[in-house]
Structure 1
Amino acid sequence: MPSTVTSVCVLCGHGNNQSLYKEYKPGAIQLNQCVNCHQFIDKYIEYDRVILLLDMFLLRIQSYRHLIFNYEISTSLLLRLLFVLLFCHGYIESCRYVATTPSLIHLNFHLSLAMAFTEFGIICLTSFIAKGLLKIGHSKLDLNRFLRVIVLSHFIDYCSVIVTIWIHESYTPITILLLFYIPAQLQCYRALFTDHWFKLLSVVLVQSIILKIANSIMFTRRAEFMDSFLS
């Protein structure tokens, strides 16, 4: 359901538009034009959700602006989606270690889930530090909008779980899918903050490096702990 509270143009990112559309009667609306670029503020109001999903996979910034600013979704639903996302990420991490007994399988999943929550904490910390130090953009990073960015930038994890179920012999397809993480996160930040392209790219790259280092350390510690548990 589109919202008329925050009206941001999906093309130019201008945020001082009064409303997304005019409703003459139920089911009869007219899209408003952006006061800056004079194009329709949000074309996705009349688009099918399948097209929106395809544009997300194509990394079109217009689809990210629509979902971050102009799409009405409650914080409680975003929190539920986030927990599902973390469980998906934990499951993907658990596939990197081959457990042979039921007790090891459960232990491996719990440790992998702890890794997923730790990585989420790192993302939160680095994001707020970067916004404060670099003074990126002018948008207020409230809880609802921040959760949207996290869920959207990690949506590929849902696909990775499906790939893991059907192609469980190799971790390579998952690695290829996870390569979409950096450009998806960059598009989310570009949608949230319309300026400072170089700063945004620097934040995403530094954050990815920190996550990679942390993930490598946690993976090594997990393997050592699992091996000691076996012995």
Structure 2
Amino acid sequence: MEIEEFRCVECNEKATELHRDYSNGILKITICDSCHKPVDKYIEYDPVIILIDALLCKTQAFRHILFNTKLNIHWKLCVFCLLCEAYLRWSRLHGSEQSSDPADFIRYTKEWEFYGMFGTAALELAAFCGGVLCFLWAALCGLRRRSVRLRPLLRALLLSCYGKVLLIPAVIWEHDYSPICIALIEVFVLTSNSQAIRVTLNSSRRLSLSAVCLGLLSETCVARLCRTFSWSFLDAATASD
């Protein structure tokens, strides 16, 4: 694989290879010189097992995904998660409206509200990532004089937002406990973000949680500004009519 460096999933030490390819298709997993364990045990695992360990926020699974794989779907995953977020907000907006006319659903799908909610969700995500990256840059580069690569951090943040995909089934299979499910999904996404930061920087849990909290604060401020701006726009439009 064309990747800059590998990491041991157990101790986070750098490694030059994950396995050695001998003749006749024989592979031998590389043993870490530091912890004397396989550098990456997940290269023999089924993708379903890796996904389950990632859902459990296991450090080894996150190291495998972030360091030892060439997974460059973070931008596509970001767009899909934003679509899920926009659909959730759109369904909340029109969920209380009851109509027996099937043409209303077609009319709603043609409205620009969905695209506006997509843009708002994108702004909130940008605020969250910006707040996290600014905090980590100030905390590590400014205070500890430690170099920080922002691109791997951004990739880790976007990949760790995969939990937002669960918003779609939570909306489709709507029931009385949907608000609780949505709240649990949001907590899970923030937990995954914190774990991704911790694995990428090999930092303490306190630092990653602080970064996530500051990012959440930035996202909340932007969300309130967007909500205030939309209300002001609607009031102005109503007054002009």
Q: Tell me, yes or no, whether TM beats 0.5.
A: yes
Deviation by residue 1:99-146 (Cα, 9 ceiling, x = unmatched): 75525872321121011110122133223312321117655332xx34
CA distance in 1, matches of 2:180, 2:230: 21
Bigger mean CA deviation after superposition, 106-115 or 217-226 = 217-226
Deviation by residue 1:167-198 (Cα, 9 ceiling, x = unmatched): 17744322222110221111100110112432
Find the partner of 1:206 among 201, 214, 223: 214
Asked if 2 retains the 8 angstrom alpha-carbon contact of 1:139 and 1:192, the reply is no
Bigger mean CA deviation after superposition, 17-26 or 59-68 = 17-26
1:120 and 2:125 matched: yes
- RMSD between aligned residues: 2.8
User: One-letter code of the match for 1:148?
Assistant: R
Residue 20 of structure 1 corresponds to which residue in structure 2?
18
Partner SS, residue 95 of structure 1: helix
User: One-letter code of the match for 1:135?
Assistant: L
Find the partner of 1:180 among 171, 188, 210: 188
User: Matched residue pairs, number?
Assistant: 225
Displacement of 1:69: 0.7
Find the partner of 1:129 among 121, 125, 134: 134
Larger Cα-atom Rg: 2
Normalising by the residue count of structure 2, what TM-score does the alignment of the two structures yield?
0.80
Residue 107 of structure 1 corresponds to which residue in structure 2?
112
Find the partner of 2:52 among 45, 51, 54: 54
Normalising by the residue count of structure 1, what TM-score does the alignment of the two structures yield?
0.83
Residue 151 of structure 1 corresponds to which residue in structure 2?
158
Asked if 2 retains the 8 angstrom alpha-carbon contact of 1:78 and 1:147, the reply is no
Identity of aligned residues (%): 24
Query: Is the alpha carbon distance of 1:219 and 1:179 closer, same or farther for their aligned partners in structure 2, counting shifts above 3 Å?
Result: farther
CA distance in 2, matches of 1:215, 1:66: 34
